[in-house]
Amino acid sequence: MLTIENINVYYGNIQALKGVSLTINQGEIVTLIGANGAGKSTLLKTISGLLKPKQGQILFEKSSIAGNAAQSIVKKGISHVPEGRRVFANMTVEENLELGAFLRKDKAGIKEDFEKVYQLFPRLLERKKQQAGTLSGGEQQMLAMGRALMARPRLLLLDEPSMGLAPLLVKTIFKIIEEINQSGTTILLVEQNANMALSIANRAYVIETGRVVASGTPEELDSSDQVKLAYLGGH
């Protein structure tokens, strides 16, 4: 579904991604693991069109999207839930969700997706007339995910969905990520909580200072001493 070949991405003179290649198959949950500043968020921003690679290819369903405008990438079927949630604080929950469907014209489908989002996140239904800025961190995370789903993506990019959330809420968010995946959406997940991410992923890539240094199934990575020591608490 997504093929990234040898991309190099820079912030000014600083190279953030160095020859990164990876693939995501339809229906998978693939997770990116790595320390802060390793380049994980940069990779998601490059896929979603917020950053342009200097070299390399990004193919989504066999067509090149490298350097395309962000809105055209959303139109093609990729939605990005950024780190730090980024909800529109002065707008209501409902208005935030409406914005997620901004590029769509199919009124019946949009209505159906509102219902789906409220089924996945009943808390948002209770708060639909409330300003997004007044929601708790967990509720804002649900809203950011719900807003991305309103674009009806085939590939969902999730950047640190559990960041700053209480452990119980983290479990809830991960359960919902699995449900989204089971309903047919492919997921690329960036997550500091490596153990949690691997517990739901089909495959994972480990990124260190802008390079992919290991990849495999959760079982394969769990049996690698280097990965275990660095990211999985060395157990």
The 10s digit of each residue's pLDDT in 104-152 is 889 999 999 999 999 999 999 999 999 999 999 889 999 999 999 999 9
Say what percent of the chain tops pLDDT 70: 99
Cα 118-119-122 angle, rounded to 5 deg:
65
- 194 within some domain: yes
- Model pLDDT for residues 23-44, shown as the tens digit of each residue: 999 999 999 999 888 999 999 9
Residue 147 sits in a domain whose CATH number is 3.40.50.300
Query: What is the domain count for the chain?
Result: 1
Mean per-residue pLDDT, 77-86: 88
The pLDDT score that the predictor gives to residue 7 is 97
Q: Is residue 235 part of a domain?
A: no
Q: Does any domain span residue 21?
A: yes
* Domain assignment present for 233: no
Residue 12: predicted pLDDT? 92
Classify residue 195: in a domain, yes or no: yes
- Its domain, for residue 76, covers 2-224
Q: How confident is the model at residue 5 (pLDDT cuts 50, 70, 90)?
A: very high
- Distance (Å, rounded) from C-alpha 202 to C-alpha 39? 21
pLDDT of res. 234: 56
Kindly state the tokens that stand for 133: 């800025």
pLDDT tier, 167 (very low <50, low <70, confident <90, very high otherwise): confident
Q: How far apart are CA 191 and CA 44, in angstroms?
A: 12
232 domain-assigned: no
Q: Supply the pLDDT for residue 139.
A: 92
pTM given for the model: 0.90
Q: Does 234 fall in a domain? A: no
Mean pLDDT of the chain: 92
- Please measure the distance between the N-terminal and C-terminal CA atoms of the chain and give it in whole angstroms: 34
User: In the prediction, which pLDDT does 118 show?
Assistant: 95
How far is CA 75 from each of CA 65, 115, 230, rounded to the nearest angstrom?
11, 21, 38
Q: Is residue 112 part of a domain?
A: yes
What is the C-alpha separation between 9 and 214, in angstroms, rounded? 20
Read off the pLDDT of each residue in 58-78 and give the average, rounded to a whole number: 94
